[in-house]
């Protein structure tokens, strides 16, 4: 495992599909760049050649994948992006904005699939070591509203049942309850601008920008 790399910041954006996390991440990147920070945007699974290949497997709606294999593939994609991208960027002092990270695995594979949460958390530690988010946003939106915001062709995960997404949303809320210092639950129902002002309040606090 690599040495401690904490000079930069890691900020992660989470929520069920269609919750608006990517919209808020893009606005945040612009906001921070305008304030002179070096910002890199990553996504999970993805952001390296190997992780993007794993992403294609994971989202392929024609494949059936067992729950444990799915979990291990997400963690494998994560180990790759942590070693190849995050550690060097953090060591350089970069602010990383990542679209999803290990909290998605806790919510989707732990709460959604029902895999043992302590096993899931052990695997996070193996995959990321000491590379932990400094701040995490969870965009909280009722499933019915999220559905209206999604694209037309569902990927393998998006084809899951309403009950699955309810469990995932509950998982994200539990995370916010158990780690209130790091995980900020943001009401994702209002307008993009209103949500963004809640986001910038937290960014300013973390990065002492105001």
Which residues are near ligand Z5A by CB under 6 A? 15, 17-23, 44-45, 74, 99-100, 104-105, 108-109, 149, 157-158, 191-192, 195
Instruction: Please count the other Cβ atoms lying within 10 Å of the Cβ belonging to residue 210.
Output: 8
CB of 32 or CB of 138, closer to ligand Z5A: 138
Tokens 């550690």 belong to residue: 87
CB of 157 to ligand Z5A, least distance (A): 3
CB of 17 to ligand Z5A, least distance (A): 4
DSSP secondary structure letter of residue 160: S
CB of 93 or CB of 163, closer to ligand Z5A: 163
CB of 91 or CB of 143, closer to ligand Z5A: 143
CB of 151 to ligand Z5A, least distance (A): 7
Report the distance separating Cα 25 and Cα 42, nearest Å.
Answer: 10
Overall size of the chain counted in residues: 210
CB of 154 or CB of 182, closer to ligand Z5A: 154
Helices (H), 82-142: 87-91, 102-105, 117-128
Q: Which residues pair with 9 in a beta bridge?
A: 95
Report the distance separating Cα 98 and Cα 88, nearest Å.
Answer: 15
CB of 63 to ligand Z5A, least distance (A): 13
CB of 126 to ligand Z5A, least distance (A): 14
What radius of gyration do the chain's Cα atoms show? Answer: 16
CB of 53 or CB of 91, closer to ligand Z5A: 53
């Amino acid at each position: 495992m690599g040495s401690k790399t904490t000079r930069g910041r890691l900020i992660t954006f989470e929520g069920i599909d269609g919750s608006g996390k990517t919209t808020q991440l893009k606005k945040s990147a612009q906001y921070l760049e305008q304030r002179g920070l070096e910002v890199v945007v990553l996504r999970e699974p993805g952001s390296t050649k190997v992780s993007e290949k794993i992403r294609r497997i994971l989202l392929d709606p024609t494949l059936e994948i067992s729950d444990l294999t799915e979990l291990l593939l997400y963690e494998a994609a994560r180990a790759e992006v942590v070693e190849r991208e995050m550690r060097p960027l953090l060591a350089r002092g970069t602010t990383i904005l990542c679209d999803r990270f290990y909290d998605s695995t806790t919510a989707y594979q732990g709460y959604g699939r029902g895999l043992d949460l302590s096993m899931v958390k052990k695997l996070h530690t193996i995959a990321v070591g000491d590379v932990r988010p400094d701040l995490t946003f969870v965009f909280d939106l009722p499933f019915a509203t999220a559905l209206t915001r999604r694209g037309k062709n569902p990927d393998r995960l998006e084809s899951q049942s309403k009950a699955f997404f309810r469990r995932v949303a509950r998982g994200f809320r539990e995370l916010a309850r158990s780690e209130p210092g790091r995980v900020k639950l943001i009401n994702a129902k209002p307008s993009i601008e209103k949500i963004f002002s809640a986001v910038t309040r937290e960014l300013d606090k973390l990065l002492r920008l105001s």
